[in-house]
A and B are shown apart, each in its own frame.
Chain A
Amino acid sequence: MSVVKEFTKGFWQELPPFRLVLGLCPTLAVTKTAFAGAGMGLATTFVLVCSNILISMLKNVIPAKVRIASFIVIIASFVVVVEMLMKAYAYPLSQVLGLFIPLIVVNCIVLGRAEAFASKNSVIDSAADGLGIGLGYSMALALLGAIRELFGAGTILGGTPMEMLAFGSSFKPFSFMVQAPGAFMCLGLILGFIGFLNRRYNI
């Protein structure tokens, strides 16, 4: 039962970056398309699950004083794995995400889960926690990417074989949305909307 709970909390209760405002840099930077957002989210999920499992296995071995440094080394190793896998099997995506793949190391979600959850709980629970939070994060990034892409480029699922135009070919893209100011504003409006839901319906 608790495994299910640890898994599902990532989808709303502790959904990053909307409910827990963590991991903002990739959230703003790579969500120019839904595809890139989801790719970034899944790469983070991989690191999150692997590092959560390994850290919860080693929780009794790692001395408390050097735990943060140890966590960072574990996380960084998995990030290197992701970086190399992506270059080998998903080269176009790795070009889009660029610098932000190595920067998963300093994504506060990953270190946050290691410190707050994996270092205190069992392996199964930690894996479920990592997977849930990671998938929630991926969906959030894909959603933000889809909104920015829809208005900023006028496409749906751009960059994938299913790419299509949302408003027909005469649509003039609102390029503000795919640039930096649009990223900040779009995320700000979503957070405001969630705040509204929170206040009005108490969810």
Chain B
Amino acid sequence: MEYNSLTDYLLLIVAAVFVKNILLAQYLGNCPFLGVSKKMETATGMGMAVVFVLVLAAVFTWMTYTYILVPLKLEYMKTVTFILVIAALVQFVEMFMKKSMPALYKGLGVFLPLITTNCAVLGVCLINIDKEYSIMTATVFSFASAVGFALALALFAGLRERFEIAAIPKSFEGTAIGLITAGLIAMAFFGFAGMVNI
């Protein structure tokens, strides 16, 4: 599909945030989803960090692939290259933030190293290449996917905070009830299925 008009992009955003939510419909990034969702504060911090890094990572991996790997006929090395680009990028963002934006670093800093091994980041970068998106489409799609991730994470954290006052069966405490809650949210998001196709 070609993305030319504003409507196309709007549809792409709606699709990536709601219909094919990266966490709840595509199963990417579940480890941080269950790991950092115990408090709203950490969940929003992680969400913002992912939005920031994912967009940068998508642009950099897209350029690496198109301008370095394709001319050298090294397409099969994309997994290795992308993970290194992402790891280096995360390290660089962390150093840059620490130096010039200490306030932001205080909020997001602890989440940055975790993002290297967040499969949502590598996953979206690979989807961009698989679907042969242009750089503009890839950027918009990555941004929307990351927003979808942040949205699902924040929703989930909001529910999870209430677990503290709920009477949960002892065997289900912790991850088990978390997964069942995630299933319920996924069911709610399932209502959007078929609205837009990308």
CB neighbours of B117 from chain A (8 A): 106, 108, 111
A43 contacts B by Cβ under 8 Å = no
Distance in Å from the Cβ of B39 to the closest Cβ of chain A?
18
A77 located at the interface, meaning its Cβ lies under 8 Å from any Cβ of chain B in the complex: yes
Given contacts A21-B34, A106-B119, contact A29 B171 (CB under 8 A): no
* B183 CB within 8 Å of chain A: yes
The answer, yes or no, to whether A183 is at the interface (CB within 8 Å) is yes
The answer to whether A73 and B84 have CB atoms under 8 Å apart is yes
In the bound complex, CA of A199 to CA of B176 (Å): 14
Contact pattern, B 148-182, Cβ under 8 Å of A = 1, otherwise 0: 00000000000000000000011111111111101
A105 to B182, CA, bound (A): 24
- Asked whether any CB of chain A lies closer than 8 Å to the CB of B77, the reply is yes
Taking residues whose C-beta sits less than 8 angstroms from the other chain, chain A's interface range is: 35 or more
A29–B58 Cα distance when bound, in Å, is: 22
What count of chain B residues pass the 8 Å CB interface test? 44
Shortest Cβ distance from residue A89 to the other chain B in the assembled complex, whole angstroms: 16
Partner of A28, one of B27, B83, B184: B27
Nearest-CB residue, chain B, relative to A179: B190
B50, CB-defined interface residue at 8 Å? no
Main SS class of interface, B: helix
**Chain B: minimal CB distance from A37 (Å):** 13
CA distance A49 to B136 in the complex (A): 40
A105: which B residues are within 8 A, CB to CB? 79, 83, 122
Q: In the complex, A185 Cα to B172 Cα: how many Å?
A: 12
Evaluate contact between A79 and B183: CB separation under 8 angstroms. Answer: no
B118 interface residue per 8 A CB criterion: yes
Closest residue of chain A to B119, judged by CB?
A: A106
Decide if B29 is an interface residue (CB 8 Å cutoff).
yes
Task: Determine the distance from Cα of A105 to Cα of B28 in the docked complex, in whole angstroms.
Answer: 13
A123 within 8 A of B: no
Which B residues are in CB contact (< 8 Å) with A99?
123, 126-127, 130
A96 within 8 A of B: no
The answer to whether A181 and B186 touch across the interface, beta carbons within 8 angstroms, is yes
The A interface, classified by DSSP as helix, strand, loop or mixed, is: helix
Which residue of chain A is the closest to B173 with respect to CB atoms?
A: A195
A102 within 8 A of B: yes
* B175 and A21 form a contact (CB under 8 A): yes
> What sequence of 0s and 1s flags, for each residue 149-161 of chain A, a beta carbon within 8 Å of any chain B beta carbon?
0000000000000
Are B79's CB and A102's CB within 8 A?
A: yes
Q: How far is the CA of A22 from the CA of B175 in the complex (A)?
A: 11
Q: Which one of A52-60, A132-140, A186-194 contacts B?
A: A186-194
List residues 75-132 of chain A with CB under 8 A from any CB of chain B: 76-77, 79-80, 83-84, 99, 102-103, 105-108, 111
Closest 5 CB pairs of A and B: A188-B179, A184-B183, A29-B27, A185-B183, A191-B176
- Chain B interfacial positions (CB closer than 8 Å to A): 24-31, 34, 76-80, 83-84, 87, 116-119, 122-123, 126-127, 130, 169-180, 182-184, 186-187, 190
Q: List 6 A-B contacts (CB under 8 A).
A: A22-B31, A102-B78, A105-B79, A189-B176, A191-B175, A192-B172
